[in-house]
Structure 1
Amino acid sequence: MIEIDCDVLKIKAATKVAISSPLVETDQVFTAQGQINGNGGMAVQGGSGASFSGNVTQNGGDFTTSGDVKAGTISLKNHKHGGDSGGMTDKPQ
């Protein structure tokens, strides 16, 4: 085991830094200035949820939620349309 205690630790590698470990963890904020790629799935839990800025694209498979999906203020679970007989449709089943 190597333990380093310092104010700033900077590692500079010309090609890459390769870590072979079953687990890499931090007990504080992790910030990446570049793209984050993952090939083994992703799991996030705890905290106050997740937020994204910018476009989000999902390709292949399904997107499943037990909550609601909203576009602006329009709820997918509770939206209604004007019916062809002048009334309103029921919300989605």
Structure 2
Amino acid sequence: MSSKILGSFFTFLVACLVVTEGMSLRGAGVEPRCRCIGTESRRIGKLIARVELFSPNPHCKDTEIIATLKDSGEEICLDSSAPWVRKVIDKILSRNQS
């Protein structure tokens, strides 16, 4: 085989691996980055339908707290340092331990 064909094949193979690896992460429900870019610290407790906690992982070093709003279904990232958010987290964790 000529070096041009071998080089083209190698480039094609690497491109396929990159594309399929990215697809497999998303298909498995794993984002290849942090979900939260910014966070909300205002008190919105009465507007929240559901709260999800996401532990740090290889793609994001932060614990992420994502709230889904009742009326719109919009997902909002909460500021884990806000006192009211800490109370919500403590309540969720104590409920899960019972």
Which bracket does the TM-score occupy, shorter chain normalised? under 0.3
Of Structure 1 and Structure 2, the greater strand share is in 2
Q: Which has the higher helix share?
A: 2
So what's the TM-score if we normalise by structure 2? 0.21
